[in-house]
Structure 1
C-alpha cells in the first residue's frame, strides 16, 4: 500500500489549501453576519455564492465524483485528503466546492443508475450547482436503522406511481433551491425477499401531495448551511412511472451503493474537523494562563493534545487504507474497512472535540467558536448512514463467520 499523494493530488491540495486560507476562513464570520439579515434562514448568504464562483474559477468543483464525464475523475485515495481539508470548515467549504451531502450521494445515484432523461433533467443542474436535492429514506415511525422496516408505500396506478408516507431528518429539504427528492419506499411490501421490496423514485418538490412540514433540529441547531433536516409528508403524491430510478425492487441495492462512498466522505471530513479542533486547542493553550502558568504547560492539556494527535494519525491511515481498498477491490471488497472507519471516526472525533470544548471553557459552547456546532455534527454522524451498533453487528458477524 502506497498512500503518498500523487502529483495531481498535491496540486489540488495546494490549490484547495490556498482557497481555504484566502476565501473560506475569512468568509465564516461574514456568512454568520449576513445570515442574520436574511429574510429566510434557509437562504444562502451572498458570500456562499461568491465562494462557489471562486471555487469554479480555481478548478475546485465536483471533486467527489470519480466519473470523469461528470466530475473531477479522482479516485477515492486522491479525493480523501481534499475532503479532509474541506472538513475544516464543514458549513462552507463542501457547499462552496459542490461537494456537500446529500447532493453528492444523489448525484452519484443519478450518474450510476439514472437514465438519460433523468440525468438531463436533474443531474446536470445539480452538477452545475443550480439546484439542491434531498434523499428521503429515514422514517419516524419505525426503526430506520433497519432499512427494510420503511413503510412508505409506492403503488403503481397505470402510468403513475402514488407515494404515501412520512419521512424525517431529510437533509437539504428546507433549502429553497431543493427541487427534487429521491424517495425510497416499498413497491412490493409483501414480496418474499425483504431486500427486493423497496424502490427509489424521483419526486419533484412541487408535486401535489408533498408537504415539507417542519425543520428538525440537531442539538438545537437547524444546520442552515446544508439546507436543514425536514419532516416531509407524502400524501398520495403522483409521479410518472418514468421517475423510477433503476428497476422496481432495486431500491435497497441502490441505497447501499449510495451509502458506501457517503460514509467514507463523512469520515474524511471528520478528520478535517479534528484537525481544526487540535489547531484551536493549541492556539487557546498558548494564549491563556491559569494558576500561574500557560494552559500549554498544564500536564492534562498536554495529554489531551498529544492523544488527539495520535488518534488523528491512526484514523487517517485507516481512512486512506479504506479509500485504497475501495479503488482496488471495490466497495464490496472494502466492506469491513468501510464499517470500521464508520465506527471509529465519529466517536474518536467527538472525543477530540469534547476536549477542545473543555479547554475553551464557556467559549467552547458559545457561538464565538465553531466547536459546539462541530461537536453536534460529529455526534450526529454516530447515527447518520446507519448507527454505530448496526455496523458493529455486521462487522462482528463477518469476523465470527471465518471461524464457523
Structure 2
C-alpha cells in the first residue's frame, strides 16, 4: 500500500504540534515518583492536541485506521518528544489496546471501552506478564498462572501480574487468564477492588504514566459478555495486538532518536575543543555519520515490516526482525548521542539521557532481542524441514 497525501499531511501536522507545543513541556515538573508525567500534565497536553486536531491522529473519523505504512510516519512524528505520544494519544499500551479492540471487540465493547480511549479521556493497561518468582508467564505466555472459571453468568479471575504498564490510574483493563478452553481475554473497568496494586517499582524508563505495576487479582468477577472474542483464543488475539504493537514501539522510539541525534549534532557543531568544532574531529563526526546510517536502516526496516502487515499477513516473523534490528540500531544511536555530548549527555539538560534510558528498556519490552532471535531460529528450522521433507 502507498502512503496517501492525507497521511503525509497528518504527519506534518503532528510534527509541527510536537515541536511547537509539546517540546516546551519537557521541563515541566509535574512528574510522579519515578519521573513519569502525571495524568494532570497528560490531559493538559491532550486538550492542546484536541484543539490542534492531532489527538489520536492514526484513527480517522468513523473508526477506520491509517494503514501501517501511514501510521509509521505519524507515530515517528509523535515520538520526536518523549511526551509526544502521550499528548497525541499514540502511546503504549493504549495504541496497541485500541488496535486490538478495533479488530476483535463487539459493537457494545467498542462503545463502552474503545470510544473513551480513542477520545483520549482515559488510559488502559494490558494484564499479561506475571512474576518470575511465581513461575508465571513472561516471554513465554504458555506459562500463564492466572486462572479464570465460569460462575453463573460471570467469569472469576485469580492471579498475580507484574510489569503492567499504566495500571495505576488506568480506566480500562484487558486481562489475560487461562481457562480449561485455553487463554481468555477480558475487558474490565478500572479501578476495581479485586485488582490491587502491590507495588510500582522504579525502573530505568520514565515516559509512561502509572509505571509498571505488580498487581494481585483476587476473585475478580467479570460479566460473561465482557470477554473479548471467544474463550480459548486469547493467545491468537494477543498476537493480533503484539505484532503491530512491536512495530509501533519501533516507530515512536525512532522519532525520539531522530530528535536526540538532532540535539547531538547541534552540540557537536557548536562546541569547540582543540581549536575546532567537535564535528570536525573524526571520532565525533564518524559517530554522527554512523547515526545517520542506523536511522535510515531503521526507517527502511519499519517501512518494510509495515508493508507486510498491510498485506493482511500477521507478520509475526517480520515484526520480530524489525523489533531486533530497530531496537539494537536505536540503542547504538542513543549511546553515540550521549558520547558525543560528553558530560552534558548524561544530564537532564536535554532529553538525550532519557532517550538512552527509554531505548535500553525498549530492547526488553515486547520481547527481548534474544527471544525474537530464538523464535526466528525455530522458524528457520521449520522452513528447512518443510522444504526437505
Q: Same fold (TM over 0.5)?
A: yes
Aligned to 2:74: 82
Runs of 4+ in 1 over 6 A off after TM superposition: none
CA distance in 1, matches of 2:340, 2:78: 24
Q: Give, in angstroms, the shift of residue 143 of structure 1.
A: 5.0
- State the partner residue of 2:283: 300
Give the Cα separation in 1 of the matches to 2:119 and 2:7.
Answer: 23
Given that 1:64 and 1:104 are in contact with CA atoms closer than 8 Å, whether structure 2 keeps it comes out as no
1:131 match: secondary structure: coil
Picking from 199, 205, 215, the partner of 2:184 is 199
Matched, 1:386 2:375: no
CA RMSD of aligned residues (A): 2.2
**1:68/1:251 CA distance change after superposition, 3 Å:** farther
Q: State whether structure 2 residue 3 is matched by structure 1 residue 18.
A: no
Q: 1:192 corresponds to which residue?
A: none
CA contact (8 A) 1:163 1:234 kept: yes
The DSSP-based 3-state class of the residue aligned with 1:217 is coil
Query: Where does the alignment leave 5 or more consecutive residues of structure 2 unmatched?
Result: none
Q: 2:344 aligns with which of 360, 363, 366?
A: 363
Output aligned runs, 1:163-178, within 5 Å.
163-175=157-169, 178=170
In 1, Cα distance between equivalents of 2:72 and 2:212 = 26
Contact 1:160 1:240 in 2 (8 A): yes
Q: Which of residues 49, 52, 61 is equivalent to 1:58? A: 52
TM-score by length of 1: 0.88
2:200 is matched with which residue: 215, 218, 221?
215
1:125 counterpart residue number: 116
**TM superposition shift of 1:401:** 3.3
Instruction: Decide which moves more: 130-139 or 155-164.
Output: 155-164
Deviates more, 1:266-275 or 1:9-18: 9-18
- Aligned runs of 1:246-261 on 2, under 5 Å? 246-261=229-244
Pair 179,359 (structure 1): closer, same or farther in 2 beyond 3 Å: same
Change (3 A) 1:123 1:229: same
Gap change, CA 1:20 and 1:134, over 3 Å in 2? same
Instruction: Find the aligned partners of 1:212 and 1:222 in 2 and give their Cα distance.
Output: 19
2:179 to 163, 175, 187: 187
> Is the Cα contact below 8 Å between 2:36 and 2:211 reproduced in 1?
no
2:155 counterpart SS class: strand
Residue 8 of structure 1, CA deviation:
1.3
Kindly tell me: are residues 204 and 116 of structure 1, through their superposed partners in 2, closer, same or farther at Cα, counting changes over 3 Å?
Answer: same
> How far is the alpha carbon of 1:42 from its aligned partner?
6.4
Residue matched to 1:191? none
User: Could you say if the C-alpha distance between residues 273 and 321 of structure 1 is closer, same or farther in structure 2, counting changes exceeding 3 Å?
Assistant: same
TM-score (norm 2): 0.91
Report the count of equivalent residues: 381
Say whether the 8 Å CA contact 2:38–2:209 is kept in structure 1.
no
Aligned: 1:351 with 2:332 = yes
